[in-house]
């Protein structure tokens, strides 16, 4: 293998080409920073009092919504007293299969959505899905008889919470 040394004159030539490129990069960077600053300066600023008014109005509105509606994100979920197994036993004892649905062999799951209030009572029943109207009415009737639940808790305080419960109606034939 033959090693050759580059002459000193060509090394100087490389530096001469490199210096203008570095100078160009530095000047472009400075120009870009100056342009960013002018764009940021052109954005209007609002007085702090305006921002505080908007924030307080938003907070007041959020508080009104919180009081009116239920909380969806909770630390502790609502549960029936005694647990779900005991609650399903309560349902089994109290549910009566509607005669019309029995006669027509209608069966399936009824999904009922309701609110567990801060005191554990159930309210605002809504049928999400049901095989028949009479099965849905029977499910709501029994849920209205339900004992109070243990409410959901958020930040150590009881909160209103929406809950969806499936209730299965099965003829077992």
Whole-angstrom distance, CA of residue 100 vs CA of residue 73: 40
Q: What is the pLDDT of residues 126-160, one digit of tens each?
A: 999 999 999 999 999 999 999 999 999 888 889 99
In a domain? residue 120: yes
Is 78:119 a contact under the CB 8 Å cutoff?
no
Cβ-count burial of 152 within 10 angstroms (0-12 exposed, 13-18 middle, 19+ buried)?
Answer: buried
User: Does 18 reside within a domain?
Assistant: no
Within a domain: 80:
yes
| pLDDT score at 155 | 83
Asked if residue 47 is part of any domain, the answer here is: no
- pLDDT tens for each residue of 12-25: 556 566 556 666 66
Q: What is the CATH number of the domain that holds 154?
A: 3.30.2420.10
Helices (H), 7-132: 8-42, 48-68, 83-94, 99-103
The confidence score (pLDDT) of residue 45 equals 45
Which residue would you say has higher pLDDT here, 66 or 85? 85
Residue 58 is assigned to a structural domain of this protein: no
**Residue 17 maps to a domain:** no
pLDDT at 54 over 50: no
Q: Confidence class of residue 8 from pLDDT cuts 50, 70 and 90?
A: low
Domains contained in the chain, number: 1
Residue 57 included in any domain: no
Task: Supply the range of the domain harboring residue 76.
Answer: 71-169
Q: Residue 70 contacts by C-beta under 8 Å, 6 or more apart in sequence?
A: 115, 159, 160, 161, 162
Residue 3 has pLDDT above 50, yes or no: yes
């Amino acid at each position: 293998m033959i090693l050759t040394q580059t002459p000193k004159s060509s090394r100087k030539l490389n530096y001469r080409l490199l210096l203008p490129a570095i100078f160009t990069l530095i000047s472009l960077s400075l120009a870009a920073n100056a342009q960013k600053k002018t764009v940021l300066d052109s954005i209007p600023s609002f007085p702090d009092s305006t921002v505080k008014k908007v924030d307080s109005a938003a907070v007041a509105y959020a508080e009104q919504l919180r009081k009116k509606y239920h909380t969806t994100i909770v630390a502790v979920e609502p549960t029936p007293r005694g647990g779900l197994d005991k609650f399903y036993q309560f349902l089994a004892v109290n549910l009566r299969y509607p005669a019309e649905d029995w006669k027509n062999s209608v069966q399936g799951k009824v999904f009922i959505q309701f609110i567990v209030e801060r005191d554990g009572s159930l309210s605002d029943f809504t049928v999400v899905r049901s095989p028949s109207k009479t099965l849905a009415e029977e499910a709501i009737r029994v849920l209205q008889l339900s004992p109070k639940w243990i409410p959901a808790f958020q930040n150590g305080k009881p909160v209103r919470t929406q809950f969806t419960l499936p209730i299965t109606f099965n003829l077992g034939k």
